[in-house]
Every structure is written in structure tokens, then in C-alpha cells.
């Protein structure tokens, strides 16, 4: 939506706080419009909301100092990573300080023999894997954007590898967190399992910066597979593609990645990434393992695909071809939005049990076909998660209303199938009503936790739910 939003009733930053922040952070305390605009924007359809100032932290001690100063002045803090979140998760809707963690980008330690590493929150996932590649290890969680590890932990991110390697809740072993009271805590040790007390690690993962500020992350790593093969297969129908995935999982094929793209998404990808795949429902696969094991996986999936109307099944072990394929998939959101010049994007996602996936996608596709607004379906079908991306004219408010209605039907459909309103985007400001519809009184327990941890409502206020 066009225009910059300044929440009503916002008070200016207290002069004594401004002076203290200038003294403590120097030129890393920013109030220029360009920097505020960068930190007030979203990847999706939400209007910009500018913070009052931006602070670039370099260490845990600096985060503690900022929290202490803002707590005394009762000024909100909104942690900010790469700004790639989809549901307005990092917008400063109540003003205050945007705490940019991107300069806390050091890989602190790699324990190759234990298959884990310790990183600061500003490390980006692509750079981490570059750092790890000489040690035969990799970090598998890969949301479409080159997000920061801290942001991924805060939103419980997922990605194309989730069907085999899980999500951020599975990847995070421990966190260092600065509490709203300015204390530094560690949620766990590096042991692979523990029965010691409450599982604070899982509580902070996915809390969207509302309970504490993550300043270190200990991550589970994996050995690079001996053989990696990618495959692409187009289908006569979207249900045929979905059935192939479900049947492959039922046959215990250990798919590493499997992504679905409908015919409109394939057209957008071809145009954006300069590819020439058939403009038909398509699956992107990746297989990991020994050479023989991968060959067996490929043959099994090829047979299933052919039985479900698949054609042009092509696979390759060549790294450059795999890289090209997955870069196109990771840029699919931008490809979809740019189907129209000057458009803005609205990306939404749901996740349902695998037994209901084909039905949910088919009903959603029927809904989209009846709309005049360009839209695509893509997603991580191996775990029941898929996305819809709308390309909206920002000068047509009637389109926004139509998309709101389609999105509401999509979420209601997923909940009726015992699914969730968001598989990986989080709640932010965009899906708060659906969180209540999904979990009911459990949201009240979440509010109790928020009030107990952050009685001042200092950290990222207004996200996930209203107090």
C-alpha cells in the first residue's frame, strides 16, 4: 500500500535518551530519512512504518546498553535483521528504536567434530555456508531470501530443505538472549539433547523478537552429501504433481527438496530467470546420498511422476545446473510480483496435513482462477506447506480487498483441514486474527508469557497478538 505510516499518538524520543544514544553509539545512531525508510519497509504489501531512530549494534554488551537505556525511557525496541520478513514482523508500528543486528555478523566457532557452530545473529545463511564448505559441512535451512540467522530463528523460518532437515526449531541447539531487563541468558548448552528445565530455546525460536533479543545462535550442522542430484518434471495437472510428492513420501523416498510451482509461476520464473521450462505445473526435486542411493531415489520418483502425468523428467548431478535451478526457485517471489510493472506483492502461506494437501491446493487454485488479479502457487509440498503470491496494483484499493477475501478463504480452508494459518512466515501484524482462530484460548497463555517476560511491553510491541 502506498504512503508512509506514522502511528497516531507517537511521542518523540526523549531528549536525554537521544543524547545518551548519541554518546554511546556515535554515528551508529541514525535518524536520517534514508536509513529510517530502509528499516520501515517490508517485503510484502504493508505500508512503510518508520522507526524514530536506528541503532547498529556490534556486540552483546551494546545490546544490553541499548535495552537498559530504552527500558528507563520506556521506548520500544524492534530487532531488525535483513528486512526480508513477509508479515510485517520487523515494522516499528509503535515507534521507538529499530535495532539493526546486521553488523553482528561473526562466525564465532565451528565445532566440526560435533556438527555444530556458534554465530552472531547478523550472519546470513549464504555466507555461513561459504564459511563451512571447506569443512564438508552445511547449514540446510534456506528461506527464499538471504536472511540473517537471528531473523530466521526469530520467525522459526523454514525453506526448501525442510522435508528432510526440518525447520529452525530443529536446527537451533542454544541461544544467547538479552532479556527486556537487560540480562544476558543462555538457553541451553551444546549437547544434542537435554531434559533440564523448561525448553527456553524453543520458546524464543519463533517469538519474533517479542520476548528477548537474540545475540548468539548455536546451530546444528550436517555433512555435505556424497552425491547431490536435482531433477525437474512438468505435469499435465497440478493434482498430478501433488500426488507424486505424496506417493514418494509414502514410498519412504528420502527427498531432500521438493518444490511445486504452478503454470503461472513457471511462466514468471522463465521470464525472470531467463529459463525455458514448460509453462506447466512443475516439481523441482533434489536428492542426497550415495551415488547408488540417489540413482534409486531418482528412478522411483521418475516412475511415480510418469504414472501421474509427468513428462520431461530431467535430472543432473552438475553443481552449476543445481545452482541455477534453486536460484530460480529462491527468486520466485520476485518473479511473481514482477508479472506486472509497478506492482506490489502479497505473499501468504498455509500448511496442512499431507493427506489434505492435494485438496487444499486444488480448492485454492479454483479460487485463484476465478480472480482477475495475477497470482501464483508455489511451495514446499514435501511438508504440506505452500504459498500464494499476488501481484497487486498499488493504485487499485479494490484489488487489495479482493486479495484479503481470497486470503481469508485460504486460511479458513487450511484451518478446517486441521492445518495452520502460517507454515513459516510467522504472525507479525498480518495474521493475528487467524492465530486466535487457530489456537483459541492458547493465545491467552501466550499473552501471559509475554507479560511475565516483558511487563513493559518493550520488545517489538504489537506483534503476534495485541496485549
Could you read off the pLDDT of 369-414 as tens digits, one per residue? Answer: 999 999 999 989 899 999 999 999 999 999 999 999 999 999 999 9
Within 8 A by CB and 6+ apart from 180, the residues are 67, 71, 211, 212, 453, 454, 455, 456, 458, 459
CA torsion sign, 34 to 340 to 147 to 154?
A: positive
State residue 343 phi and psi, 5-degree precision: -80, 160
Residue 353: is its pLDDT beyond 80? yes
Could you read off the pLDDT of 416-461 as tens digits, one per residue? Answer: 999 999 999 999 999 999 999 999 999 999 999 999 999 999 999 9
C-alpha closest to that of 336 among 413, 391, 256: 391
Residue 1: is its pLDDT beyond 90? no
* pLDDT value of residue 4: 45
Average pLDDT over residues 320-331: 92
Domain 107-223 and domain 334-426 have a common topology: no
CA 377 to chain centre: 17
Could you read off the pLDDT of 179-218 as tens digits, one per residue? Answer: 999 999 999 999 999 999 999 999 999 999 999 999 999 9
Could you read off the pLDDT of 23-67 as tens digits, one per residue? Answer: 999 999 999 999 999 999 988 899 999 999 999 999 999 999 999
Average pLDDT over residues 314-339: 92
DSSP state of 244: H
d(CA 52, CA 96): 5
Q: Structure pTM? A: 0.94
* pLDDT value of residue 111: 98
Which CATH number applies to 334-426: 3.30.70.2740, 3.50.50.60, 3.30.565.10, 3.30.70.20? 3.30.70.2740
Written as nine digits, the cell of 213 is: 533479543
* pLDDT value of residue 312: 85
* pLDDT value of residue 338: 94
Residue 219: is its pLDDT beyond 90? yes
Could you read off the pLDDT of 223-252 as tens digits, one per residue? Answer: 999 999 999 999 999 999 999 999 999 999
Average pLDDT over residues 140-162: 93
CA torsion sign, 64 to 40 to 452 to 123?
A: negative
* pLDDT value of residue 145: 85
Average pLDDT over residues 101-123: 98
d(CA 168, CA 163): 12
Average pLDDT, the chain: 95
Q: Name the burial class of residue 198, with classes exposed (0-12), middle (13-18) and buried (19+) by CB atoms within 10 angstroms of its CB.
A: exposed
The strand pair at 116-119 and 213-220 is best described as antiparallel
Q: Structural domain boundaries of the chain? A: 15-103, 107-223, 227-321, 334-426, 431-467
**Which fold is adopted by the domain 107-223?**
3.30.465
* pLDDT value of residue 9: 55
Average pLDDT over residues 7-28: 89
Residue 6: is its pLDDT beyond 90? no
Which CATH number applies to 15-103: 3.30.43.10, 3.40.640.10, 3.30.420.40, 3.10.620.30? 3.30.43.10
Residue 95: is its pLDDT beyond 50? yes
CATH architecture of 227-321: 2-Layer Sandwich (3.30)
d(CA 371, CA 402): 8
Amino acid at each position: 500500500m502506498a504512503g508512509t505510516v506514522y502511528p497516531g499518538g507517537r511521542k518523540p524520543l526523549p531528549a536525554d535518551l537521544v543524547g545518551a544514544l548519541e554518546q554511546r553509539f556515535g554515528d551508529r545512531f541514525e535518524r536520517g530519512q534514508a536509513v529510517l525508510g530502509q528499516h520501515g519497509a517490508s517485503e510484502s504489501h504493508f505500508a512503510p512504518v518508520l522507526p524514530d531512530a536506528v541503532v547498529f549494534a556490534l556486540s552483546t554488551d551494546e545490546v544490553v546498553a541499548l535495552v537498559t537505556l530504552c527500558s528507563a525511557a520506556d521506548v520500544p525496541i524492534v530487532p531488525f535483521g535483513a528486512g526480508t520478513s513477509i508479515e510485517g514482523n520487523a515494522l516499528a508500528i509503535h515507534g521507538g528504536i529499530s535495532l539493526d543486528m546486521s553488523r553482528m555478523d561473526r562466525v564465532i566457532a565451528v565445532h566440526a567434530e560435533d556438527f555444530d557452530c556458534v554465530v552472531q545473529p547478523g550472519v546470513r545463511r549464504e555466507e555461513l555456508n561459504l564459511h563451512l564448505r571447506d569443512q564438508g559441512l552445511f547449514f540446510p535451512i534456506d528461506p527464499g531470501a538471504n536472511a540473517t540467522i537471528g531473523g530466521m530463528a526469530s520467525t522459526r523460518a523454514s525453506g526448501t530443505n525442510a522435508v528432510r532437515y526440518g525447520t529452525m526449531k530443529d536446527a537451533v541447539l542454544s541461544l544467547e538472549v538479552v532479556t527486556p531487563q537487560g540480562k544476558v541468558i543462555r538457553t541451553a548448552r551444546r549437547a544434542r539433547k537435554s531434559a533440564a528445565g523448561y525448553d527456553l530455546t524453543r520458546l524464543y525460536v519463533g517469538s519474533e523478537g517479542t520476548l528477548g533479543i537474540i545475540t548468539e545462535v548455536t546451530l546444528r550442522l550436517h555433512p555435505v552429501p556424497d552425491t547431490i542430484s536435482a531433477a525437474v518434471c512438468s505435469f499435465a495437472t497440478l493434482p498430478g504433481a501433488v500426488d507424486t510428492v505424496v506417493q514418494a513420501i509414502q514410498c519412504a523416498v528420502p527427498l531432500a527438496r521438493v518444490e511445486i510451482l504452478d503454470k503461472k509461476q513457471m511462466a514468471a520464473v522463465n521470464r525472470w530467470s531467463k529459463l525455458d521450462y514448460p509453462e506447466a505445473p512443475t516439481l523441482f526435486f533434489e536428492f542426497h546420498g550415495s551415488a547408488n542411493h540417489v540413482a534409486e531415489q531418482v528412478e522411483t520418483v521418475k516412475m511415480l511422476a510418469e504414472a501421474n502425468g509427468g513428462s520431461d523428467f530431467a535430472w543432473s548431478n552438475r553443481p552449476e545446473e543445481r545452482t541455477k535451478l534453486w536460484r530460480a526457485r529462491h527468486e520466485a517471489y520476485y518473479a511473481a510480483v514482477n508479472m506486472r510493472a509497478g506492482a506490489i506483492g502479497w505473499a501468504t502461506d498455509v500448511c496442512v496435513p499431507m493427506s489434505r494437501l492435494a485438496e487444499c491446493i486444488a480448492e485454492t487454485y479454483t479460487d485463484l482462477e476465478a480472480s482477475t488479479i495475477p497470482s501464483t502457487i508455489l511451495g514446499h509440498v514435501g511438508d504440506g506447506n505452500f504459498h500464494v503470491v499476488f501481484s497487486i496494483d498499488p493504485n487499485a484499493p479494490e484489488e487489495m480487498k479482493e486479495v484479503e477475501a481470497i486470503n481469508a478463504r485460504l486460511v479458513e480452508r487450511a484451518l478446517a483441514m486441521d492445518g495452520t494459518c502460517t507454515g513459516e512466515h510467522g504472525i507479525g501484524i498480518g495474521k493475528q486474527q487467524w492465530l486466535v482462530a487457530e489456537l483459541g484460548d492458547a493465545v491467552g497463555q501466550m499473552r501471559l508469557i509475554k507479560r511475565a517476560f516483558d511487563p513493559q511491553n518493550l520488545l517489538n510491541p504489537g506483534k503476534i497478538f495485541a496485549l
